Structure 1
Amino acid sequence: MADTTVFRASTTAPVNIAVIKYWGKRDATLNLPTNSSLSVTLSQRSLRTVTTASCSAVYPASEGDTLTLNGKPQDINASKRTLACLVSLRSLRKEVESANASLPKLSSYPLRVVSENNFPTAAGLASSAAGFAALVRAIANLYQLPQSATELSRIARQGSGSACRSLQGGFVAWRSGTKVDGSDSLAEEVVPASHWPEMRALILVVSAEKKDVPSTEGMQTTVATSPLFATRAESIVPGRMTAIEDAIHKRDFPAFADLTMRDSNNFHACCLDSEPPIFYLNDVSRAAIRLVNDINRVAGKIVAAYTFDAGPNAVIYYLDEVSEVVAGTFKAILGGLDGWDGPFGDRLKSVSAGVDLQKLDSRAIESLKNGLSRVILTGVGEGPIEVDTHLVSETGAILSSDEQ
């Protein structure tokens, strides 16, 4: 009698926001980066992807592997990146089965993967990073693979470059590597979240719309046409990686902040140096930059750092001890927006502006008031977490969010 068991494993995975940016590939097929990068893993209490990976002998072979994202079936065969991840994970499961003949042959069963984000997809919030990290971690758990998060990062990298950094918590470096096969291009945790738990992040969501120039297309354009980019990859980033890792180990926020802002500016300068130029920042983004600089000036020291990925949303890093000065000031301006009441919002419930708003750029204040849709208040957090709440039932049925 055929085994009718539905094998399941579920995990959550975090978003990460780079402070030393990944931009440009030396191998597009293997997703090998031109330069190393470093990111902060954000708390899953605020932003996360939940993924259930399941397989069973009773799943129709004709159906093949399937992926459902936010309730919508995806054409898994149209995504070479997803298929590359599945091939690699199946190969590792086959090794486990070969070493122990008593194990069920899960590698031969069709996969049914269901994933949900609690944030907009393709809106500059690194949804693909959390998504591929969750997919790889969930299937690795389903297959009971022995590989470490760093070893699995090679697989997640093939799905989405920055996904390799979402497989771990705290502060994570993605080493570019030099080998042609990409075996040394992997992510490793520099320090865990517990090393610098006071790190906070305020995300100013400018738009939930998809960006005009997708990241992959933008990278190709920049690498092919920007003279400034070669200088960035070869001369600027290596030194910054060393310096920011040193700042993180020492918990030196002014040094961390200065490097973060400089690297964001340099990355977007490379985008502008492309032909045609790529504009990820808009007037609202520039208003956020102005206000961060104003807050630092009024505070008399660097207490906040802005960074922007390939999109207009500002991510502002600061330490919990200056929450009133940084987040409190933004809340005084943007208190009517959603997002202030999350798990990191208690400190700001009865706080007024930490600095005199009269000393800030009035045009920048108006631009932010008119140009933002919401805020996300969060902090540094952990890597993927295995959970018992599944998006696939014991019979293999895909569950809606209210059926879980």
Structure 2
Amino acid sequence: MAAESGDKWILTVTAQTPTNIAVIKYWGKRHEELILPINDSISVTLDPDHLCTTTSVAVSPAFTHDRMWLNGKEVSLSGDRFQNCLRELRSRASDVEDEKKGIKISKKDWEKLRLHIVSFNNFPTAAGLASSAAGLACLVFSLANLMNVKEDHSKLSAIARQGSGSACRSLFGGFAKWIMGKEENGSDSIAVQLADEKHWDDLVIIIAVVSSRQKETSSTSGMRDTVETSMLLQHRAKEVVPKRVKQMEEAIEKRDFPSFARLACADSNQFHAVCLDTLPPIFYMNDTSHKIISCVEKWNRHEGTPQVLFSSFVFATVLFKSII
């Protein structure tokens, strides 16, 4: 949408992007700057009507520098991750024209035009619900639309990945896989959709937020410490995850809930085991998380087959159940 602002024009785009919940988790990078993971991961994208980021981006010759507001507070855009995304998108921008408003932006203009970005999460930030993933995915998607970037979602995911690793998966609905890739430049580290949001529409997801405070150890520093100190992480990445990813893809394709549940619970437990194997150890669960997991395990054992699964994060435990 374009609108006049005095004698200066302004062009805006608004988008919503949901968060995603990893059922085969990403933890650890093989390249810090490019955010290249040491293993593949698989996630479920949540309903944007419930958990999402809403981002409005605007461009105008009246803007003197790039600015961003998150949840009502201005934040710095000077960090490498934001700058990497902005640089990649500006280099891919195309001509934009709005004949009704008399606005015409050429490809070369995007390098000098400044942006204003307003973003809002409708869920706790930094509490383990992939707020940065939803936020960076929404930022990349909305800017790509504003700048008329002619790339498909997988190619855009490689840009979003440079802002937040898990963001690449939030560009897809349903079930998504982040392929770790092998190229040193990260060109093949992209996300792909395994199944759309209608594939398993009887899968119910419950989010139990057991604390809304920010985590003491950030994901970035936690991953770095784990890569440097955990022998269990190396075993997980090389021996466990490749097999588990194939099994999870098959479970999703067949909508095999018992297999899906066993794999997701095992991966969640191993993620926290890897965190505890880090020096110093990282604690991403509290007593309430442990009680929820204990109840799930007791219920499933009583029924003889998985009725519900858990995937525990920092201060949230996510429960999945098939209503069939």
- Normalization by structure 1: what TM-score? 0.75
Residues 136 and 155 in structure 1, CA contact (< 8 A), matched pair in contact too? yes
Measured in 2, the distance between the counterparts of 1:34 and 1:204 equals: 29
Measured in 2, the distance between the counterparts of 1:3 and 1:176 equals: 48
What amino acid is the match of 2:140? Answer: V
Does residue 30 (structure 1) correspond to residue 34 (structure 2)? The answer is yes
| Correspondence for 2:203 among 195, 199, 202 | 199
Q: Which residue of 2 aligns with 1:88?
A: 88
CA RMSD of aligned residues (A): 1.5
Bigger shift: residues 67-76 or 178-187: 67-76
Tell which structure's C-alpha radius of gyration is larger. 1
CA-CA distance at 1:123 after TM superposition = 1.1
Measured in 1, the distance between the counterparts of 2:228 and 2:7 equals: 53
Q: Which residue of 1 aligns with 2:239?
A: 235
Residues 70 and 115 in structure 1, CA contact (< 8 A), matched pair in contact too? yes
Q: Which residue of 1 aligns with 2:309?
A: 305
Q: Which residue of 2 aligns with 1:104?
A: 105
Alignment of 1:5-404 (within 5 A): 5-60=9-64, 64-77=65-78, 79-93=79-93, 96-97=94-95, 103-105=104-106, 106-107=109-110, 108-309=112-313, 311-321=314-324
| Higher strand content, 1 or 2 | 2
Measured in 2, the distance between the counterparts of 1:48 and 1:282 equals: 25
What amino acid is the match of 1:71? Answer: G
Query: What secondary structure does 1:195 align onto?
Result: coil
Q: How many residue pairs are counted as aligned between the two chains?
A: 310
Measured in 2, the distance between the counterparts of 1:281 and 1:208 equals: 12
What amino acid is the match of 2:135? Answer: G
CA-CA distance at 1:312 after TM superposition = 3.1
Does 1 or 2 have the higher relative contact order (CA < 8 Å, sep 6+)?
A: 1
Cα distance change on mapping 1:97 and 1:3 into 2, 3 Å: farther
Once the two structures are superposed, residues 328-356 of structure 1 have per-residue CA deviations (whole angstroms, 9 ceiling, x without a partner) of xxxxxxxxxxxxxxxxxxxxxxxxxxxxx
CA-CA distance at 1:296 after TM superposition = 1.1
Residues 52 and 114 in structure 1, CA contact (< 8 A), matched pair in contact too? yes
CA-CA distance at 1:3 after TM superposition = 7.3
- Normalization by structure 2: what TM-score? 0.93
Residues 3 and 57 in structure 1, CA contact (< 8 A), matched pair in contact too? no
Residues 305 and 318 in structure 1, CA contact (< 8 A), matched pair in contact too? yes
* Unpaired stretches in structure 1, ≥5 consecutive residues: 322-404
Aligned-residue sequence identity (percent) comes to 45
CA-CA distance at 1:201 after TM superposition = 1.0
* Unpaired stretches in structure 2, ≥5 consecutive residues: 1-5, 97-102
Query: What secondary structure does 1:85 align onto?
Result: helix
Query: What secondary structure does 2:249 align onto?
Result: helix
Once the two structures are superposed, residues 348-380 of structure 1 have per-residue CA deviations (whole angstroms, 9 ceiling, x without a partner) of xxxxxxxxxxxxxxxxxxxxxxxxxxxxxxxxx
Residues 85 and 158 in structure 1, CA contact (< 8 A), matched pair in contact too? yes
Measured in 2, the distance between the counterparts of 1:8 and 1:184 equals: 31
Once the two structures are superposed, residues 77-104 of structure 1 have per-residue CA deviations (whole angstroms, 9 ceiling, x without a partner) of 1x210111000000001xx249xxx951
Once the two structures are superposed, residues 101-123 of structure 1 have per-residue CA deviations (whole angstroms, 9 ceiling, x without a partner) of x9513513101111011111111
